[in-house]
Amino acid sequence: MGIRQQVSGLHCLLQILRTILSHENLSSFLSIRRRDSLLNPVTKKNPPKYLCQRCTNCCRWPGDVKVSEKEISAIASFLEMEEAEFIGTYTRLRSDRRGLSLIDQSDGACIFLQGQDCRIQPVKPQQCRGFPNAWNFPGWREVCEATEI
């Protein structure tokens, strides 16, 4: 990973930390974080829609990208791997022990983030495809370059 990507990733993390620390009720914010992993379903009537600009900022911090059996199969096939090999190489047991999540790189970025690109873009998990329209987290507009449509 080049210095530019590292700086970009650190900038994203700092923005997220500033958002967390500026939250009026930090303990409430942290309990929401633990309970929901900051995955806030978008439930407003007629919420604005956003078009992803593929800035990859949402891929640059530790998270819990859940993968279904169907997604595991699709990603493994795309990578020309056996499912068992994919699971052993790229996933971990979720903290709630109810399935698998993708592992992170050592800096917290998604294991499939390569520079400014997603190695599995055509078959990326629904959770990734749904951001920020299906779900988002407090302060997401400060780090995401998606444009309102």
Write down the pLDDT at residue 47.
Answer: 84
Tokens 């939250």 map to which residue? 23
Q: Point out the least confidently predicted range of 8-17, 45-54, 56-65, 81-90.
A: 8-17
Q: Does residue 55 contact residue 9 with C-beta atoms inside 8 Å? A: no
Contact 115, 121 (CB under 8 A): no
Question: Contact 83/71 with Cβ under 8 angstroms?
Answer: no
Assign 15 a pLDDT band (cuts: 50, 70, 90). Answer: low
Q: What percent of the chain has pLDDT over 90?
A: 60
- Residue 145: enclosing H or E segment and its boundaries? none
